[in-house]
Amino acid sequence: DLMFPVLSYRTGPFGANGAENADGYLDYFALLNERDGGIGGVKVQTPECETEYKPEKGVECYESTKGNGALLYQPLSTGITYQLIPKVTADKIPMLTPGYGRTSSANGKVFEYVFNYPANYWDGASVGVKYMLDQEKGDLKGKKITLVYHNSAYGKEPIRTLEELSKKHGFTLKTIPVDSPGQEQKSQWLEIRRDKPDYVLMWGWGVMNQVAISEASKMGFPMDKFIGIWWAGSENDVKPAGEGANGYKALTFHGVGKDFPIFKDIETHLVAKGKASNGGKNIGTALYNRGLYFAMLAAEAAATAQKIHNTKDLTGAQMRDGLEALKLDKARLEALGLANFAPEITASCENHGGSGLVAVQQWDAKAGSWKLVSDFMQSDREVIDALIKADSEAFAAENKITPRECK
Amino acid sequence: MAELTQDGRKIGDILLEVKNITLAFGGVKALTNISFDIKEGEIRAIIGPNGAGKSSMLNVISGFYHPQQGEVWFRGQKRGPMRPYEVARQGIARTFQNIALFKGMSTLDNLMTGRITQMHTNILWQALWKGPAEREEIAHREKVERIIDFLGIQAIRKTPVGRLPYGLQKRVELGRALAAEAKLLLLDEPMAGMNLEEKEDMCRFILDVNEEFGTTIALIEHDMGVVMDLSDRVVVLDYGKKLADGTPNEVRNDPAVIEAYLGVGH
Amino acid sequence: MTTENSMLSIKNIEVIYDHVILVLKGISLEVPNGGVVALLGANGAGKTTTIKSISNILKTERGEVTKGSIEFEGERVENLSPNDLVKRGVVQVMEGRHCFGHLTVEENLLTGAYTRTDGRKAVADDLEMVYSYFPRLKVRRKSQAGYTSGGEQQMVAVGRAMMAKPKLILLDEPSMGLAPQLVEEIFEIVQTLNQKEGVTFLLAEQNAAIALRYATYGYILENGRVVMDGAASHLASNEDVKEFYLGLSGGDKKSFRDVKHYRRRKRWLA
Amino acid sequence: MFYRESGDFKTSYSADQQTFPIRLDRHVVYGILAFAFLVVPFLINDYWEKSVLLPFLVWAMAALGLNILTGFCGQVSLGTGGFMAVGAYACYKLMVAFPWLNMFIVVILAGLITAMVGVVFGLPSLRIKGFYLAVATLASQFFLVWLFNKVPWFYNYSASGMISAPERTLFGIPVTGAEAPPWMTYLFCLTLVTIFAFIAHNLVRGRIGRSWMAIRDMDIAAEIIGVPPLKAKLSAFAVSSFYIGMSGAMLFALYLGSAEPNDSFGIAKSFLVLFMIIIGGLGSILGSFLGAAFLTLMPVLLKNIMVGWFGWPADLAAHLELLLIGALIMFFLIVEPHGLAQLWRVTKERLRLWPFPH
Amino acid sequence: MSPELLNVLEVIINGLLAGVMYSLVALGFVLIYKASGIFNYAQGVMALFAALTLVGFQTGQIPFAHVINTIFGTHLETWGPGLPTFFAILLTMGVMVLFAYLVERIVLRHMVNQAPIILFMTTIGLAYFMEGFGDLMWGADIKTMDVGLPSGASTWFETMTAGWATEGSNYPGMYVDMLDVAAAGIAILLVVVLTLFSQYTKTGRALRAVADDHQAALTVGISLRTIWVIVWSIAGFVALVAGIMWGAKSGVQFSLSLIALKALPVLILGGFTSIPGAIVGGLIIGVGEKLFEYSIGGMLGGATENWFAYVLALFFLMFRPQGLFGERIIERV
Ligand SMILES: Nc1ncnc2c1ncn2[C@@H]1O[C@H](COP(=O)(O)OP(=O)(O)OP(=O)(O)O)[C@@H](O)[C@H]1O
Ligand SMILES: Nc1ncnc2c1ncn2[C@@H]1O[C@H](COP(=O)(O)OP(=O)(O)OP(=O)(O)O)[C@@H](O)[C@H]1O
Ligand SMILES: [Mg+2]
Ligand SMILES: [Mg+2]
């Protein structure tokens, strides 16, 4: 069997998010098993392990599952990702961290076993700015952009990119941290109310998002000028603010809603048979779709690997090859029942980070749903690639890694 | 200088003198202008009705209360403002009215803590244990064991003091004060809660300490039998004021004292 | 003593602390209605433990009554909660005072009347009564009990028990730390309450001389057992009791200075 | 009479003061140590290392430290997470600045640096007591975590704000980094923990330990007897932080390999260590180990039972696990408020009497 | 007035209101501490649990639906449209009383006369338990809390204060959240009632007696059991109020239990034993942390509120180790 351990978090402060994500992830594999008999005819196993979003537990989960022929890890937490980077490399099991994790692991020469396509935080920051550029007809000179961020390693990720971009586009950047967990943000939002920035970007997580969105709406900040990162773009984040959240935007690297053929399959093969996780109650939420997408990437890479190595059962190293050779084009997406669900991906030995295509979604409070309000847009590679190069090389030097040669 | 008592003990110079001590807590005047002295080698009793300020007086002497007025002279020197532990290091040990043993420790450890002012090996040696720390420990252990024998508490050496009955706790507390080998021993009602037999034992201990080691003792006690038999001189406090000061016999027959404290029975 | 008019009767109880330490090894005693019974014994004999097992607060110290029975007014009370016992009229004065340190003296006394339902007036009257017994408390009534002197706290503890208007007061070393004339007064109060109000007393006391003077009956405990009991006057004239508890053996009272160091033997322990 | 201490007479005070005065105890402990040092390294694999043994050793070290402060000196502290962070960041900076430095020395130096920080944050204890102090120590917890987040110098200006332990070797074998073999990291931690457990034992049985306990049991009386409170409390803070700093360094460098202040050293850690010493037994060296074992192993065990054996869904199991751990904590405290160590002592006393009830 | 000054004023007002929100949580701690000397770590989780229960009743959720579904493969969700808010609140209060009763019955009664830290630890066990229990009972997803309280900016206040600014400064007016104002009203009411209760009733006196000495309280006939059930019920009610207020801001979710951390500095500043202290402490902390963040925090890189609240409390404790209104810690020998 193909083993895809699921590191999930369903308890603790972020449990609500973790549950939706994990449901999507599990359901996709369950669908493959039910509908197609697995991947390439081999059943998929998805043992779940609760990490509680804690690094220690994540490591425990990793160690307890890796021995059974685990093919791929998606730890769903940047903290855990950092613990696992050296370990997966030593154990030769690939790890995929789309939209989180260590951004510079996009450099496949240094990070052999770590992947983070289709997009990373720096792509997110860049596309966020690009979207604003579009809105402002290509000119951000003299505009004020404020970044509200979770005061942690995660929250600080976009700062460097944004600083570069502010130089490039001539906007003024202000950064306001919110300490974890972030239930009290009066100071921060009063400050924003006084500053009246043109846009607010938010790198938030957990309860911080809900409070920020409700404070912003109460203070009358125009919600359509308020853009969150994809981890601040779930139903959970906007619902507590009720009507006030209407118009709030968030970045995303995959489609939203249930309007894709695959959801019919899920309905017939899983929900109807009572096999959907959590009774199928999370189907179609933003994070469910993300979990689904993560699983799809894994499954596609596995199928690719099976083809390359001409074998049904895989090893971690073969899976790595599959991930590096992943080609996800329009046709393939359509065949999967996910037409236009996500941008195309072409991975390679050196490119573990994908192309960095990101779109913007907007919340419609009446309908209670997200919808995409932009195309998938290309991030500013010029700025980002330089940053990735610098950071991955620093990592290589610090850990005495000689970057491998890619043919 | 030294005078002799009837039973031949030597009483020396003034060891400690309090001069014009006034101590108030908010509106409550616990002590008003109290002066008296304690001579080397004597047993000095402090008596008075409940709330007279006896314990407060001891607290002043041991540096825990800081009087608003007055001075404390010890060994011929005026004492500046001092923390209680510095006072202890000068050689004043005491027991407490409401037993203040270290409940989480064994009897032995309580007594060893009494010797803390005399132990000095530094933390590194302590961490290593073998060597100076162990030697010091054993040296002091020997002294403490002598006190344990002396008080007859061998059997409870390793018992946590929290579970001991009241009377034994009192005895352990006395042991802890004795362990300090202080010049001056302050005892606050050492015999409260003891029956006659135990009081007799306790008296024996106090007299022995006084006779064998020449320790000066200041004693608060409500049992007049004990006070009259043991002490060389008695000072009587009455709601913060000094009522009388003199030999047991003088005090016993002082009408003011009878009126305020003893009652007619005595 | 007959059991008919007994208010409290303890039959053969054993008490164990911490599941391993056997402290009371079968104690039986009777407290007659309207009597004043004294419990005497050396330190650690088990007086306090006996009293705590009656008022049922042993559990809070990880102790338990494993055998025997305790009856109050003919009913088994081992399983009653302490406050039920107070409601029935059994109040304990704990050894070592146990005042509510942060409450003022007056509040302490008033909590004593917690279970009473006979109205503010009656309580206020009793408060005055306590003040008349202990004038010192009236002076200090507004100060926090934690900051009063040891003897004052003892008065608070005794006064607090009186405020409950109980039928039976369990007094654990009431005289401890009190000045001599106050000790007399406490026992006078005991006598007054006993005779005027009909309150029954069980008192553990170290001051045997005075306890036997005021008590009607006495028990002597050693090592968790009753070694001797009898009418107070009878006990007071026993040679052993005289020697070990009253200090009167061989005629005159001897000086504490002359006490010898060697251990004497108690005949009842032979 | 399974357990006996009779027939084991001491003829000198030094014999009476041994670390394990009872012969049976002594043999058991030596047996365990021999097993841990000589047998376990041959059995160990990654799972046992990372899921069981290293966490246990790291937390045992932290619990020893906090027990010195809270269990022996009576100062309740909730700053443990912050102090562990100091240890971890000190360790990181030392590892990067002096790559040639022996890892033992790095860890010990990290401990010493933490000790200094601990003394500073211990100053309020001179005035503030009990729960007031406990809550006040949260100031250090929040401040330190904030600081390590805010000042890029601490994480060498890395883009992510994370610190990762570079590879260091001991006798030519890596002890940190992904290549470190499990037995090596295990032995490294075990050696440190064993040595410092003995040191802790030495400290608490001597003059310093008694001055701590005196302060704990009754601080005013202790001072009147001659224990200087300033010295006693600050030395407790120093020694305790020293241990906690070392455990932070071990957590970061050997166990996790990388760390971030919020995730790894948050307030949850402060509470965790406090639970350990309370469940294990305040004022007991053995208790520190028992508590650490209980709270690191119990969740793993529960999870393995519920998910592995019964095959329950992970989320149900996770919620049930919380519920069960909570219930177990309460249960143990009801049965024996003084912790597992006391439970062990009472059991021994019973065994000694067995088969007689008293 | 110049806009700068008005900004400061706005920060102060919002700080006061934020402080009141902290007080609501601190109040629960104070009540239980006052009545038993227990530092109830579970107070935050109680707020979460109460809020979950309230929302559950409001929306007609079936308790343990998730567990039942998993075990029996059913698809239970709700039993109906849910209860009107008022009844849901009443019913939740009933649940909190039941909870208080069970806590006393199962746990506290065995813990009489134990050291404070042991009691503290017990409540931590309780917190774990309730967290797991709450998750199992009501599910771990984020729920929306709406009991019909006003919320959002007060336009009246905004226009009024806009007029205070100097001419032509284009000052938009000050912001206050109606929800915070409502919270302040409720908090003040609670404080007044509870202060009167604890200061002037027999039960109030008994509470303080219990906190001082469990054994002695037993010997004067105070039933610890009754007292504890009463107090935990009141604390449960206060937790419900806190849960409603905080839940309205952030949704009802696990993080609600972490509000305890915001209440702790308030607690030590005001004093563990003082009900008015909880409110005064809250106000001081609220204003202090907001002003610090406004004036100096930015220079230090921001997000200073979490630790500054504690530093501020620490500063006050240096002068009054028992907090501003706490009972004097008795230090005697
Ligand atoms: N909580 C406890 N745990 C263990 N042993 C205890 C406990 N309380 C008392 N004991 C033991 O029980 C025995 C009887 O103690 P108790 O306090 O009843 O004696 P007592 O007669 O009241 O003595 P005293 O006159 O000193 O007050 C003592 O040996 C004591 O060590
Ligand atoms: N720290 C304090 N704060 C306030 N009042 C105090 C303090 N210490 C003592 N007092 C008061 O001072 C007076 C004297 O108390 P002290 O303890 O010295 O009496 P005492 O003579 O020892 O009486 P006893 O024989 O009852 O022990 C008492 O009225 C007491 O209430
Ligand atoms: Mg006194
Ligand atoms: Mg007794």
CA–CA separation, A168 and A139 (whole Å): 11
At residue A371, the 3 state secondary structure works out as: strand
Measure the CA–CA gap between C227 and A77, rounded to whole angstroms.
73
CA gap D150, A156 in Å, rounded:
10
Contacts of C102 (CB under 8 A, 6+ apart): C144, C145, C146, E208, E211, E212, E273, E327, E328, E330
Pair C49, C65: CB distance under 8 Å: no
Using a CB-CB distance cutoff of 8 angstroms, which residues of chain C are in contact with residue D350? 19-20
For chain A, what is the mean pLDDT? 92
Check CB contact under 8 Å for C81 and E223: yes
User: Where are the domains positioned within chain E?
Assistant: 3-319
Contacts of C111 in chain E (CB under 8 A): 205-206, 209, 217, 220, 222
Q: What is the b/e burial string over A358-393, where b = at least 16 CB atoms within 10 angstroms of the residue's CB?
A: bbbbbbebeeebbebebebbebbeebbbebbeebbb
Residue in E with minimal Cα distance to C108: E209
Q: Is the peptide bond before A240 cis (omega within 30 degrees of 0)?
A: no
Q: Do C19 and D346 touch (CB under 8 A)?
A: yes
Domains of chain D, by residue range, sit at: 22-263
Chain D contact for C17 (CB, 8 A cutoff):
no
- Are the beta carbons of A357 and A252 closer than 8 angstroms? no
Q: A277 near A227, Cβ under 8 Å?
A: no
Q: Residue A178: which of A154, A161, A143 has the closest Cα? A: A154
Given D13, D208, D227, which is nearest B85 (Cβ)?
Answer: D227
A281 to chain D, any CB pair closer than 8 A? The answer is no
Q: What integer pLDDT is reported at residue B3 of this predicted model?
A: 67
Q: Are strands B77-78 and B69-74 parallel, antiparallel or unpaired?
A: antiparallel
Among the listed residues D307, D289, D351, the one whose alpha carbon sits nearest the alpha carbon of residue D59: D289
Pick from B64, E161, E176: nearest CA to A189: E176
**Sign of the alpha-carbon dihedral angle for A11, A17, A18, A21:** positive
For the CA of C52, the closest atom of ligand 1 is 18
Query: Is residue D110 exposed (0-12), middle (13-18) or buried (19+ Cβ within 10 Å)?
Result: buried
Could you tell me if the CB of C46 is within 6 A of ligand 1? yes
Work out the average pLDDT over E260-270: 92
Given this model, what pLDDT does residue C254 score? 66
Ligand closest in space to the Cα of B95: 3
CA D15 / ligand 1 centre spacing (Å)? 31
Name the residue among C78, C73, C72, C61 with its Cα closest to residue C16: C61
Question: Å from E110 to nearest chain B CA?
Answer: 20
Cα–Cα distances in angstroms (integers) from residue B30 to residues A242, A397, C134, C156, E116, in the given order:
66, 74, 19, 19, 32
Tens of pLDDT, residue by residue over A299-309, are 999 999 999 99
Average pLDDT over residues A65-87: 90
Domain ranges of chain C: 6-237
The encoded tokens of residue D79 equal 């700053």
How many Å apart are CA E191 and CA E262, to the nearest integer? 18
Q: Kindly report the CATH number that applies to the domain delimited by C6-237.
A: 3.40.50.300
Peptide bond into A181 cis (omega under 30): yes
State residue D7's pLDDT score.
52
Alpha-carbon distance of E167 to B210, in angstroms, equals 89
For atom 2 of ligand 2, the residue with the nearest CA is C147
Omega before residue D355 within 30° of 0, cis:
yes
Distance from CA of D165 to the nearest CA of C (A): 49
Residue contact D229–B85, C-beta within 8 A = yes
Q: How far is residue D12's CA from residue D18's CA, in Å, rounded to a whole number? A: 10
Determine how β-strand C36-41 pairs with β-strand C217-222.
parallel
Give the pLDDT of residue C2.
45
Mutate to test the interface with B, among D215, D224, D240, D241 (most CBs of B within 10 A): D224
Substitution site in C147, C178, C182, C183 for ligand 2 pocket (most atoms within 8 Å of beta carbon): C147
Residue nearest to atom 8 of ligand 2 (CA): C147
Label residue A193 by pLDDT band (50, 70, 90).
very high
Written in H, E and C, the secondary structure of chain C is CCCCCEEEEEEEEEEEECCCEEEEEEEEEEEECCCEEEEEECCCCCHHHHHHHHHCCHHHHCEEEEEEEEEECCEECCCCCHHHHHHHCEEEECCCCCCCCCCEHHHHHHHHCCCCCCHHHHHHHHHHHHHHHCHHHHHCCCCEHHHCCHHHHHHHHHHHHHCCCCCEEEEECCCCCCCHHHHHHHHHHHHHHHHHHCCEEEEECCCHHHHHHHCCEEEEEECCEEEEEEEHHHHHCCHHHHHHHHCCCCCCCCCHHHCCCCCCCCHHHC
User: How many secondary structure helices (H) and strands (E) does chain A include?
Assistant: 13, 16
Name B236's bridge partners.
B47, B244
Q: Is the CB of E249 less than 8 angstroms away from the CB of A177?
A: no
As given in the structure block, the two tokens for residue A100 are: 């989180």
Q: How far apart are CA B145 and CA B122, in angstroms?
A: 23
Q: What is each CA distance from A51 to A59, D300, D318, in whole angstroms?
A: 8, 11, 9
Measured on CA atoms in the order D333, D339, D343, D345, is the torsion positive or negative? negative
Separation of CA C40 and ligand 4 centre (Å): 10
Residue A338 has pLDDT above 50, yes or no: yes
Residues of B in contact with D218 (CB under 8 A): 100-103
Chain E contact present for A64, CB below 8 A: no
Q: Which residue of E has its CA nearest to A178?
A: E303
**How would residue D354 be classed by pLDDT, with cut points 50, 70 and 90?**
low
Interchain touch B–A (≥3 Cβ pairs closer than 8 Å): no
Structural domains present in chain B: 1-91+182-266 (3.40.50.300), 102-179 (no CATH)
Say which of C81, C94, C100 has its CB closest to residue E212.
C100
pLDDT in tens, D30-50: 999 999 999 999 999 888 998
- Is residue B106 within 8 Å of residue B159, measured between CB atoms? yes
- The string of pLDDT tens digits covering residues C111-131 is 999 988 888 899 999 999 999
Encode pLDDT of C38-49 as tens digits: 999 888 889 999
Nearest C-alpha to atom 14 of ligand 2 is from which residue? B53
- C152 and B196 in contact by Cβ < 8 A? no
Q: At which residue do the structure tokens 């509510």 appear?
A: C100
Average pLDDT score over residue span E114-143: 90
Alpha-carbon distance C209 to nearest alpha carbon in chain B (angstroms): 9
What is the C-alpha separation between D319 and E64, in angstroms, rounded?
Answer: 12
Query: What would the pLDDT profile of E72-89 be if each residue is shown by its tens digit?
Result: 877 788 888 889 999 999
For strand B69-74 and strand B14-25, is the pairing parallel, antiparallel, or unpaired? antiparallel
Which of B196-200, B260-264, E303-307 is the least confident region? B260-264
C53 CB near ligand 1 (under 6 Å): no
Residues of A in contact with E297 (CB under 8 A): 187
Query: Chain C, 87-116: which have a CB under 8 Å from a chain B CB?
Result: 95-97
Single-letter amino acid code for the residue at A148: V
CA–centroid distance, C241 to ligand 1, in Å, is 22
Which residues in chain D are contacts of E259 at CB distance < 8 A? none
For residue A38, the surrounding DSSP H or E stretch is none
Compute the nearest-CA separation of E116 from chain C (Å).
14
CATH topology of domain E3-319: ABC transporter involved in vitamin B12 uptake, BtuC (1.10.3470)
Q: Where are the alpha helices (DSSP H) in A239-352?
A: 261-265, 286-309, 316-324, 330-335
Residue of D343, D352, D358 for testing the chain C interface, max C β-carbons within 10 Å? D358
Task: Decide if A206 contacts A155 (C-beta within 8 A).
Answer: no
Whether D231 shows a pLDDT value over 70: the answer reads yes
Q: Tell me the mean pLDDT in the region A82-92.
A: 90
Residues of E in contact with C101 (CB under 8 A): 212-213, 330
E202 has a pLDDT exceeding 90:
no
From the list E124, E261, E329, the residue facing D129 with the nearest CB is: E329
Q: Which pLDDT does position C267 carry in this prediction?
A: 47
Cβ contacts of residue E164 below 8 Å, gap of 6+? E1, E6, E171
The yes-or-no verdict on residue D118 having pLDDT over 60 is yes
d(CA B129, CA D16): 14
Instruction: Pull the structure tokens for residue A134.
Output: 């579009």
Residues contacting ligand 2 via CB (< 6 Å): B 25, 28, 30, 48, 50-56, 97; C 140, 147-152, 177; E 332
Ligand nearest to the CA of E113: 1
Cβ distance of C115 and E113 shorter than 8 Å: no
Average pLDDT value for residue range B222-248: 90
Indicate the pTM of the whole model: 0.93
Of the candidates C120, C155, C115, C121, the one whose C-alpha atom is nearest the C-alpha of residue C135 is C155
User: Which of B113, B128, B187 to probe by mutation at the D interface, max D CB count within 10 Å?
Assistant: B113
End-to-end CA separation in angstroms for chain D:
12
Number of residue pairs across C and E with CB atoms under 8 Å?
A: 92
**Nearest residue to D54 via CA among D248, D200, D251, D317:** D251
Encode pLDDT of B96-149 as tens digits: 988 899 998 999 999 999 999 988 888 888 888 888 888 999 999 999 998 898
Measured CA to CA, the distance from residue E194 to residue E203 in angstroms comes to 12
Q: For residue C37, give the nearest of C6, C74, C15, C12 by alpha carbon.
A: C6
Question: Pick from D173, D184, D194, D177: which is nearest to D41 by CA?
Answer: D184
pLDDT at E79: 85
* H/E stretch holding A176: strand A172-178
Ligand nearest to the CA of C150: 2
C-beta of residue E25 within 8 angstroms of C-beta of residue E303 = no
Which residues of D fall within a CB distance of 8 Å from C19?
A: 346, 350
Ligand 1 atom showing the smallest separation from residue C95 Cα: 27
The count of C-alpha atoms lying within 13 angstroms of the C-alpha of B144, restricted to the half-sphere facing its C-beta, is 26
Whether B165 contacts chain C with CB within 8 A: yes
- What is residue A298's predicted lDDT score, i.e. its pLDDT? 95
DSSP string over D328-353? HHHHHHHH-TTHHHHHHHHHHHHHHH
Chain D: residue whose CA lies nearest to A399: D166
Which residues is B219 bridged to in the sheet?
B45, B187
Helix E275-295 vs helix E305-319: angle between axes, to the nearest 10 degrees? 130
Asked if E255 lies within 8 A of A187 by C-beta distance, the reply is: no
| Gap between the terminal Cα atoms of chain A | 32
Choose among A16, A176, A190: nearest Cβ to E253. A16
Q: Which helix (H) or strand (E) holds B185?
A: strand B184-188
Select from E94, E100, E11 the least CA-distant residue to A191: E11
Mean pLDDT (chain E) is: 90
CA distance C110 to C115: 10
Name the band, by pLDDT with cuts 50, 70 and 90, for residue D1: very low
Element (H, E) at B160: none
* Residue C212 in this model has a pLDDT that exceeds 70: yes
